[in-house]
Amino acid sequence: MRTRIRSPRRVAVLATVAALGAGLLAGCADDGDSSGPSGGTDANGKTKITVGVFGAFGLKEAGLYDEYMKLHKNIVIEQTSIERSENYRPQLLTHLASGSGLADIQAIEFNYVAEITETQGDKLVDLGKAEGVKKDNFLPWKWEQGTTKAGKTVGLGTDIGPTGICYRKDYFEQAGLPTDREAVGKLWAGDWQKYLEVGKQFKAKNVKGATFVDAASGVLNAMLGSSTERFYDKDGKLVYKTNPAVRDAWDTAASFSEAGLTAKVQQFTPPWDQAFANGRFATVTCPPWMLGYIQDKAGAAGKDKWDVAPAPKPGNWGGSYLAVPEAGKNKEEATKLVAWLTAPEQQAKLFEKRGSFPSAQAAYSLPQVSGAKHPYFGNAPIGQIFIDAAKGVPVQPVGPGDLVISQNLGDVGMLQVDQKGVSAADGWKAATKAIDNALDK
């Protein structure tokens, strides 16, 4: 995430999700324009719906487009993709502002959904009024984040990233800690400070070659995702500097580094990948998409050594939305497609085939979700673990600067604390200065 956000979706597509019945497929285009002109008709006179996404978004790879086209013989779906979400966002904003060059359906990542709803909501169709769309099908916080202040729902949630903690059972055993996932979860239940204390206990046992966590920035991100208020308050006021929850997350994450509990690796970089392969740390913040990443990077040597437990507090890391621009040529058919793609049944299929956890709570009773287990992680009941986490995620206010703030807290500030030994106070000053400069532009 170095000076830019690396999309969790992008890194997750590198992994396999064997427990869910299918490997993740490579399916990204290059970093060209993700939108292009909206649909119209193809050479055979069929209605063409264009979809602009980032990375291997999963809908195409899971076969959902093909299924829809079989059900609707008059529809052709064409998808274009930009590999990196950070390159996709400015193009989307430019096209929305100009009202041209848009696909009939555009994906939106959670990091900038507030920016879209606040500044471009009038350029998007109200999907909350679409036939078959039910607000109660979705988690309340996910629905709210895709809704403008005026009550117009312009983004329907696809997936989310409810967090757990992945941990190495063999390292916990060597440290004299419990290895059963329920007992492990109880070690830090309800309190991130307890997670820190367990880390200190782990370090005292001198487990050879292993630190307790991967990076202080991972702890920071997880804590921020679990607070009821983060960077903005419910009235839309920027409060990240004065919000006690942000400073508590900052100070706690810095304490992990200062206590020597981190591997001091930068997440989503080759050294981090290698650290998984070498078994350099015992725990990592773990949304559903991380499972496949760990399996891919840790390989056969990590099978049955990794497991999943609940996080100290439920939070969210990741997720996206689908929106329909008002400037599209096929708004009506595009709206029908979005309603179908985000319906509980399709979200359950996407989880089963791609590991993308549903934002539709109505999908949680479906067997593909509720009964999901992961053999690489000791047959952990990942469906139920992440269902419980998803239901506990707070309805957190989001704002247009979320992406910039999150990026700089981790990449400018906490990275210096963790890797360069900068004090927590000086790291905070560096991060806030970078944030203020970015927001003032």
Rounded to two decimals, what is the model's pTM? 0.87
Q: Cα separation of 95 and 52, whole Å?
A: 12
Q: Cα separation of 363 and 160, whole Å?
A: 13
Q: Which amino acid is at 186?
A: K
Q: Cα separation of 136 and 68, whole Å?
A: 24
Q: Which helix (H) or strand (E) holds 79?
A: strand 75-82
pLDDT in tens, 270-326: 999 999 999 999 999 999 999 999 999 999 999 999 999 999 999 999 899 999 999
pLDDT in tens, 66-106: 999 999 999 999 999 998 777 899 999 999 999 999 999 99
Please tell me the predicted confidence (pLDDT) of residue 34. Answer: 53
Look at residues 275, 311, 301 and name the one whose alpha carbon lies nearest to residue 376.
301
pLDDT in tens, 160-172: 999 999 999 999 9
Axis-axis angle for helices 192-204, 216-225 (nearest 10):
160
Please tell me the predicted confidence (pLDDT) of residue 116. Answer: 95
Reading the block at residue 30, the tokens are 């290059």
Reading the block at residue 201, the tokens are 């206990």
pLDDT in tens, 170-188: 999 999 999 999 999 999 9
Contact 56, 24 (CB under 8 A): yes
Least confident of 33-37, 76-80, 255-259: 33-37
